[in-house]
Structure 1
Amino acid sequence: MKQTRNTAAKTEILKLINHSPVALSHAEIQSALNGLCDRVTIYRVLERLITEDEVHKVVNLEGVVKYASCHSCSSEEKHIHTHNHAHFSCEKCKEVTCMEDIEPSFKVPKNYQVHEMNFTLSGICPNCR
C-alpha cells in the first residue's frame, strides 16, 4: 500500500468522523472544522480517506452523501473488510447510523458483478421515539 502524507486537515477530519456516533455530511464536517480548510480540500480529503478504507460513504433517503468511520474493523482486517452493511436513516432527526452487525444478502443474475451496495433502512431512531 502506498504511503500518503498526513495533513492537518486529514487528521482533523478523520478525528471528527471517528468520534461521531453518526455519519456526517460534507456541510456538517465543514461547519465543525471552523474554517480549518476550504470545501474543496474537505472533498479531496474525504475521497482520500475512502480510498484508504478509513471511511465510507452513505447516501441517505434525501440523497445527501454522509461519511462514516468503520468502527468494527481493525487495521489488520482492512484488506478483507467491506462496508456492505445496513444503515439506518431517521426520518425525524435525519441522522444516519451504521448498523454494522446487519449485512443484507441478495442474489443477482450471473452476468452481474456487485462491488458496492447502499442498503438504508428508514424509520424513527431510539433517540426520537
Structure 2
Amino acid sequence: MKVTRNTQAKTEILHLIQQSKVALSHAELQELLNGLCDRVTIYRVLERLLKEDKIHKAITTDGVVKYASCQSTEHHHHNHVHFNCTKCNTTSCLDGVEPQIQLPIEYKVETSNFTLSGICPNCNKI
C-alpha cells in the first residue's frame, strides 16, 4: 500500500478548494496561496488530489480547467453538471443534476464533462 504524505502545499490547496463555493482554476489557486509554492508544485498537488479522488475537474466553456471538492457520498461519482456564469466567470457544481445519455452499446465512456453556461443565481439578482 502506497502511503502519501501531506505537505503544507497539499493541505492548503485542498483546504482552499474545499472551502470555496465555486471551482477554482490553477491561476486562482496560485493567487490565493500568496507565494506558498510555485506553479509546478500546484500542478503536481492538483494531479495528486485528482488521483486520490479528493477533487475533480470542470472545464469551462472557454477551456479553463477548474477544480472542485468531491463530496463524500456512498455513491461517489463526477457525472454531475457544472455551471459556468458568463457574467462573474464562476464555475459551480450542480451535484443533483445528472445528464442521461444513451450511447450505442459498442461505445464505452471513460470520462465526461458537462458544462452549461449562462447567468448564475447571484448575477441574476442584479
TM-score interval, normalised by the smaller of the two chains: over 0.9
TM-score by length of 1: 0.92
* Structure 1 unaligned spans of 5+: none
* Partner of residue 107, structure 1: 102
Opposite residue 63 of structure 1, the aligned amino acid is G
Displacement of 1:109: 1.5
2:54 aligned with 1:82, yes or no? no
Task: Return 5+ residue gaps in structure 2 as ranges.
Answer: none
Which residue in the other structure is 1:48 paired with?
Answer: 48
Offset, 1:122: 1.1
1:14-61 Cα distance to aligned partner (Å, 9 max, x none): 000000000000000000000000000000000000000000000000
Higher helix share: 2
RMSD: 1.1
- Aligned partners of 1:52 and 1:2: how far apart in 2? 11
Superposed, 1:58-69 pairs within 5 Å as 58-69=58-69
Q: Distance in 1 between matches of 2:112 and 2:40?
A: 26
Match runs of 1:1-129 below 5 Å: 2-71=2-71, 73-74=72-73, 77=74, 80-129=75-124
Deviation at 1:9, TM superposition (A): 0.3
The offset of 1:91, in angstroms, is: 0.8
SS in 2 for 1:58: strand
Percent identity, please.
Answer: 64
- Provide the secondary structure at the position in 2 that maps to 1:121: strand
- In 1, distance between residues paired with 2:55 and 2:20? 12
Write out the 4+ residue segments of structure 1 that deviate beyond 4 Å after TM superposition: none
**How many residues matched?**
124
Which shifted more, 111-120 or 51-60?
111-120
TM-score, normalised with respect to structure 2: 0.94
Secondary structure of the residue aligned to 2:123 is: coil
- C-alpha distance in 2, partners of 1:85/1:41? 28
